[in-house]
Structure 1
Amino acid sequence: IGFSTIFIFYALLSTQIFSFDFDYFRELVPASSSVDEIGLFSTCVLAEFDKDGWTKEIIEKSEIDWDPIKKCDEKFMPYTILGENGTIWLNKNKEGVDGVNCWARSANDDAILNISALFPMIQVGKDPSLNSDFVHTSCQKVKNTSEVVEDFIHLQMWDAKDDGGPKRKATTKKPASSRRKSTKFPNPSNLEKEEEIDEKPSLFIFVFDSVANSQALRSLPKTISLLEHEFDAVNLRHVNKVGENSHPNGIAFLIGKLITELDKGIFGMGKEKADWDANHSCYRYFDDDPFILKEFTKKGYKSLMAEDWANGVFNYPNCWGFKNPPVTHYMRPFQIYYESDLEQSRKLMGEDQCFEYHTFLFNYLDKFIKAYKESPKISMIWASEVAHNYNDGLFHVDAQLFNYFKEHRELLDKSYVFLMGDHGIRWGKIRNTWIGDREINNPMMFVSVPKHLRERVNPILRENSNKLLTSFDIHASLVDILNEPHLEALAGPRGLRGVSFFRSLPPGERSCRTLPIPIQFCLCEWNKTKSEEKEVNEEIGRGAINVLNEKLKEYQIDNSCEKYTFHSTTDVKMIDRSDGLTEILFTANECQAQFKSIVRARRLESGRLNVTLAASDFTRWNSYGNMAACMNSRAPLRPLCCCR
């Protein structure tokens, strides 16, 4: 949608054409011919934005030059060097190295919080081998042993065995449908050629937490251009998140399980039970579950999982995660040590030294790629820090990611590449814009398949890029790669919640009524009329607060969480063609908590306005952090709580 269209849209909202008679709320409204909720929800109109993701409002709120490592020490080097086979030595090229004493230890168990108790330090140069992917070094000045000058964690691929993998012949050519028109990148020959390819192409998943589709277009223009022109990647524009945060969305696309009940009462349907309840999705180990990276590992792939936060997708906020490493190379021990003294880690191995949280992930993946040149590989790196809390955090990463993909172009060109988010940004200045309201539910999803498959597969991907998709469809697509590495003979349902986007989607309705998407996250667009009547808005807001307090009682957390009292409404919109369905954003006095949801507001004969919850639940609209710490043992309920 261009600037002119946006202007016309908002102009129309203020005219009589879009006006609404709020006498609706002042009487008991009988069913009328204008109410058509079946027709309303059985169709799905999906919004389209400018191809670069920018609007005038976003431009005014963005700082594209923000870069936390702009002034870092590019010549930094540690006092120690990790050599081959786990050997650690003093770096003779480091200034002042003669005036320090250094020690080292390995750290390879993510269950050990007190690493020093299990892995004692040995003096650098005294032991030839440190058998771990992670080697921690610490250096103190000889004349002042209390002054720590190095606290560093080296990375390696310990005990890597590049077993190789079978090959096959394939004929490749430039796809006829290719959109490669740029002169910035060299074009491959149009001629068909036979070449040797991997029997099992590798798969690289890059997850950037809290990055929406249109956000990626404006924040990663160089990277997206490279993917689309060099790798013929397809932008799946309408992926819909299925849960509030990373945990439910991650479990959906990595294991294929629904962990929150779906209330479809708004569609005249019943409740759809979750596959796992809150305890099952958190307070047990995931070792026996079909985690997709583990399933690939069973089939002979070398595997890597790296997150930049110890409390990642399977551990937040205090879930058990995995008892044993689920992949060949598991980075969580690194994060546990780095975060054990975060202040010192950031001081000596942080932005001043040109290290960002995601830098370690890319360095680890780089070593993985080089260690397993011949073996089939699957990796997932999940970068949370760079964009989770920062609207402008991704801009400076564009050049880094572009260069990384260019460096590994030959490998990535014959592999599957998923560049994706888990949901959009959930707080900040963009959140309250028109485009930000949609972005929160619409994670980034770019897919590139091995070049020998593009002529056959990309037309299907492009067809599906216009359709409503979910996190479960991502999971089904990964299962297709697992079972048919070259996407051959894809047939038959498999009892999954999603449908692979490598297949033509089944005919029929694809909407939030038919897909496992909570209504409060739905990307489908409905005509709404903004209410400007302050008294009515306040009355609906007070009713919504009462419903929220009843929810706290229903969840049996009202003794731990404050009872909310009404402060104000920020936005009230009536959904056209519905029987009182209202989208409301309101603020409570307690914790200044903001919530958004869809309620149904009807005026009873008694004159009282009856407000009921039409969505599955309330969505927290602003950051809550430690204000919800009392709910750490019941993670899904944290957004609803303001602790007493």
Structure 2
Amino acid sequence: MKTTKKHKRIYSNQQTIEPYYTIRYLFIFITTLTTVTVYHIHKELVRPKLEHLVVYENLTDRDPRVTCQFPILNPFHPSILKYVFVPKPIRCMERSYRLTYIDMDTGLLQFNVSGFKESGYSLDSNTLRCYYQEIYRPNEDDYRVEYGPQIPITGLHEPRTDFIYVSCTNFLGFTVYSNFHAYARRRPEVRKFKDDIELGAAIIGIDSISRLNFMRQMVNSYHFITEEVDGDVLHGFTKVGENTFPNVIPMLTGRSFITEHNNRFDDWPYIWKDFSKEGAATLYAEDQPEFNMFDYLAKGITLQPTLHYMRPYWLAVEQSMLYKMSSPGCLGPTPKHLIYFNYLKSFLKIYKDSPVFLFSLFNEVSHDFVNTVGVIDLDYMKFLKSSIHEGIFNRTVIFVLGDHGNRMDFIRRTKVGTIEDRMPMVTVILPEWVSMKYPSWKASLRENRMRLTSTYDIYATLRHILSTLNNQSKSTDIEQYLLNNIQDKNVKNHFAAPCTGLSFFEPVPLVRDCNEAGIAQWLCVCHEGQQKRLEQEHPYCLAASNEVIRYFNELLDGLENCAKMKLAFVEHAYLYEAPQKYDDGKVYEKSVQITFKAIPGNGYFEATLGMEIKNGSRKFVVIGQVFRINKYGHQADCLPRTMLAKMPILKGICYCD
């Protein structure tokens, strides 16, 4: 077929048009790519940086007489800047309405008029039928909740329990609204203050937050605590255990965590029992019930531990469809931390004229990541500020604290992160009038800010506060009574041992070492700055790491479902050349702290090893605990829970085949 002139023109035009469209599309692609790139670069350059938002006051008033010269670090040390940032705010569902609420002043359940208007429903037309159910904790069960009968909501109601479930159905019988409410109900057995010198205690804790990270992330709260209410930050405070439980137990009992026990925690001599014996109102609150300190890999507490106990609320919430459909960090339209703080505040308000003991530890926003805790900063500050200004903390000593620093995020693999993990946030806020009744308390707090303190000292301080409710001999009688109630002989002997803690309200000795403070040498911060960093190729690094791997495989021997461990590489190591006496009683002339990666499981571990030199040969010995410092998830789920509870290290080193 011959090509006509017309066909030639069309073909020629196509050849002309195709390059045109190709260039056009290429131009659009390059323009779009350039715009997106410029946008993200600009966003990164102008984003709020924590190091610019926080004013850091460097501390130079170190007392040279203090034998433990622990590190005072800048929270924005160059080595960690790449790991810290401003977190994204919590975003709850926008099209979720609050049709009911409990009034914080009266405690009455009622309809939310504005919520009905926003949702399009009418209170007068009876288009919705609403009811509430009281939530109960079953006797001797820490893992279930029970619901009372459905009570129609017709006006103002005063529930009998702290926690209730609310639901509304339309004319077709479909549930169109559900919610959970928490409000503390005053109990008649709680007495009122007898005189003007009695005090209570409130621990407002945040899981896994160091002092430095509190300064970085909780900017408004830190300023309020230190500047507006003159709180005293304890810069030398050091943890005594790896995670929550071995740090909270010394805080509440004055003795170390015991691994060889009967897996029953009811009869342990918690300080809240002493306060309760004196007629005080007691509360224990944690969120995330799966990981509560008495329930994780354990049987929980059989009897309700305190007069008010928030665990049943969160159990009910996490079993609900509302929670499963909610945004992260939310229950319907409400951030979970606001529900938590409001419940604590309701407790403090109804017992404003009574002594209290409050222990709380908020977990969700801080446990896994170092930066996410910043999302609660403003609300945490508002909770403290409003409570103080309303006078509900006027007879209460406040402890703002963490149980330890972050143990799992990337920052933990740095030297600064190691120190942060060991030095949690601890601040004490005294009511203003205390300086008149107990003039030595504030002066001692000021002195102790730059001295070595530990978790055991919190217990001693709580007992000091308890002494305002009783006399010393009576306090001793209560202690003995609690010990006599312990059935297990080993547990009783353990808690009968003397306490090592010292009250913050009395001067801590200038000459105090980690052993005297109850801090294991592998957690001690007194010798920071005395160590020498070793190159990864140094023979000590390989020898020490392989010894830990051998130690791991010895623990795994006989566990057929767990793979054998191998060394991947050494990340960093530090040599301590000064003699150190460790808990095994031995004195090692040299010791090495090493961080390495092992496979399978991609675990990063930190270990301390003593060096023994005999007949010219060198041998490394694992000292104390070995810590896994990154997440391990469910890699050890093939092992029984009882075994993991008894040997927690297996959670991090067993990799199920």
Q: TM-score, normalised by structure 1?
A: 0.76
Indicate conservation of the 8 Å contact 2:532/2:576, yes or no: yes
In 1, Cα distance between equivalents of 2:432 and 2:189? 24
Return the letter of the residue paired with 1:357: K
Letter in 1 for 2:99: Y
Look up the match of 2:356. 377
For 1:85 and 1:539, how far apart are their aligned partners in 2? Answer: 64
Q: CA deviation at 1:388?
A: 0.9
Tell me, what secondary structure is at the counterpart of 1:157? coil
285, 288, 295: which one aligns with 1:309: 288
In structure 1, the residue matched to 2:261 is 279
Write the deviation string for residues 197-243 of structure 1: whole angstroms up to 9, x where unpaired. x3422322101000011211222232222222332211111111111
1:475 pairs, out of 435, 459, 475, with 459
1:267 maps to none
Distance 2:331 2:164 in 1: 21
The aligned residue for residue 568 of structure 2 is 567
**Residue-by-residue CA offset, 1:3-37 (whole Å, 9 max, x unaligned):** 9xxxxxxxxxxxxxxxxxxxxxxxxxxxxxxxxxx
How much does 1:522 deviate?
A: 1.6
**CA 1:413/1:223 → structure 2, altered by over 3 Å: closer, same or farther?**
farther
Q: Does the aligned pair in 2 maintain the 1:201–1:450 contact within 8 Å?
A: no
Residue number among 508, 512, 515 corresponding to 1:513 in the alignment? 515
Which whole-Å CA distance do the structure 1 matches of 2:328 and 2:630 have between them? 31
CA gap 1:114/1:512 in 2 versus in 1, 3 angstroms: closer
Alpha-carbon contact 2:90-2:329 (below 8 Å) kept:
no
Aligned residue for 1:513, secondary structure, equals helix
Deviations 1:407-439 (A, max 9, x none): 122333553110000000011132223321100
The answer (yes or no) to whether the contact 1:101–1:139 under 8 Å persists in 2 is yes
> 2:98 matched to 1:78?
yes
Q: How has the CA–CA distance of structure 1 residues 459 and 199 changed in structure 2, closer, same or farther, with 3 Å as cutoff?
A: closer
In structure 2, C-alpha distance between the alignment counterparts of 1:322 and 1:214, rounded to whole Å? 34
Deviations 1:98-135 (A, max 9, x none): 6555443111206375546x545455449966431111
> What pairs up with 1:17-416 in 2 under 5 angstroms?
44-50=68-74, 53-69=75-91, 73=94, 77-82=97-102, 92-93=116-117, 95-97=119-121, 100-109=128-137, 111=141, 113=143, 115=145, 119-125=148-154, 130-143=159-172, 145=174, 148-158=175-185, 160-161=187-188, 165-166=192-193, 168=195, 198-259=196-257, 276-280=258-262, 283-286=263-266, 288-341=267-320, 344-345=323-324, 347=326, 351=330, 353-409=332-388, 410-416=391-397
Alpha-carbon distance change, 606 to 346 in structure 1, aligned in 2, over 3 angstroms? farther
Partners of 1:97 and 1:516 lie apart in 2 by 61
Rounded to whole Å, the distance in 2 between the matches of 1:452 and 1:560 is 61
Q: 1:530 aligns with which of 519, 524, 533?
A: 533
CA contact (8 A) 2:134 2:148 kept: yes
1:89–1:425 distance in 2 versus 1, CA, 3 Å: same
User: Aligned residues, how many?
Assistant: 543
SS in 2 for 1:568: strand
Task: Indicate if the aligned counterparts of 1:212 and 1:442 stay in contact, CA closer than 8 A.
Answer: yes
The 1-side partners of 2:82 and 2:405 are apart by: 19
Residue 93 (structure 1) shift:
4.1
Identity of aligned residues (%): 23
Deviates more, 1:431-440 or 1:127-136: 127-136
The 5 Å alignment of 1:431-580 reads 431-454=412-435, 455-484=439-468, 495-506=498-509, 508=511, 510-526=512-528, 527-534=530-537, 536=539, 537-553=541-557, 558-559=559-560, 561-577=562-578, 579-580=589-590
Check the 8 A contact 1:134/1:154 in 2, yes or no. yes
The residue number in structure 2 matching 1:628 is 636
1:255 partner amino acid? T
Instruction: Supply the distance in 2 between the matched residues of 1:606 and 1:525 (Cα, whole angstroms).
Output: 27
Alignment check: 8 A CA contact 1:568 1:587 kept: yes
Deviation at 1:444, TM superposition (A): 0.6
**1:89 Cα deviation (Å)?**
5.6
Shift of 1:299: 0.7
Call closer, same or farther: CA 1:159–1:606 in 2, change over 3 Å.
Answer: closer
After TM superposition, the structure 1 stretch with the greater mean CA deviation from structure 2, 306-315 or 344-353, is 344-353
Q: Deviations over 1:235-265 (max 9, x none)?
A: 1111111111101111110122212xxxxxx
Q: If the length of structure 2 is used for normalisation, what is the TM-score?
A: 0.74
Go from structure 1 to structure 2 and tell me whether the alpha carbon gap of 1:320 and 1:348 turns closer, same or farther (over 3 Å shift): same
Offset, 1:631: 5.3
Q: Point out the more displaced range, 618-627 or 315-324.
A: 315-324
- Structure 2 Cα separation of the partners of residues 78 and 625 of structure 1: 36
Q: 1:408 aligns to what SS in structure 2?
A: helix
For the aligned residue pairs, the C-alpha RMSD in angstroms reads: 3.5
Question: In structure 2, do the counterparts of structure 1 residues 299 and 599 end up closer, same or farther at CA, with 3 Å as the change threshold?
Answer: same
Structure 1 counterpart SS, 2:373:
coil
- Hey, what does 1:188 align to over in structure 2? none
Mark the CA change 1:361 to 1:127 in structure 2 (over 3 Å): closer, same or farther. closer
The 8 Å contact of residues 142 and 300 in structure 2, kept in 1 or not, is answered as: no
Q: 1:119 to 1:404 in 2, by over 3 A?
A: same
**Secondary structure, counterpart of 1:618 in structure 2:** strand
Query: Match for 2:607 among 577, 587, 597?
Result: 597
Q: Shift of the alpha carbon at 1:150? A: 3.0
Distance 1:114 1:123 in 2: 24
Equivalent residue number for residue 179 of structure 1: none
CA distance in structure 1 between the partners assigned to 2:370 and 2:455 by the alignment: 23
Q: How far apart are 1:639 and its partner, in Å?
A: 3.5
* Corresponding residue SS for 2:393: helix
2:410 to 429, 444, 455: 429
CA contact (8 A) 1:472 1:497 kept: yes
From 420, 423, 435, the equivalent of 2:401 is 420
Deviations 1:298-356 (A, max 9, x none): 21112222111224554241323332222221111101111224773451895385533
In 2, Cα distance between equivalents of 1:96 and 1:150: 13
Contact 1:162–1:375 (8 Å) recurs in 2: no
CA shift digits 1:115-163 (9 cap, x unpaired): 46x5454554499664311111234554473xx5433111223354496
Kept after mapping to 1: 8 A contact 2:83/2:410: yes
Residue identity matched to 2:217: S
Asked if 1:642 is matched to 2:634, the reply is no
Structure 1 spans left out of the alignment, 5+ residues: 4-41, 169-197, 260-275
CA gap 1:605/1:160 in 2 versus in 1, 3 angstroms: closer
Letter in 2 for 1:334: Y
Distance 1:90 1:328 in 2: 30
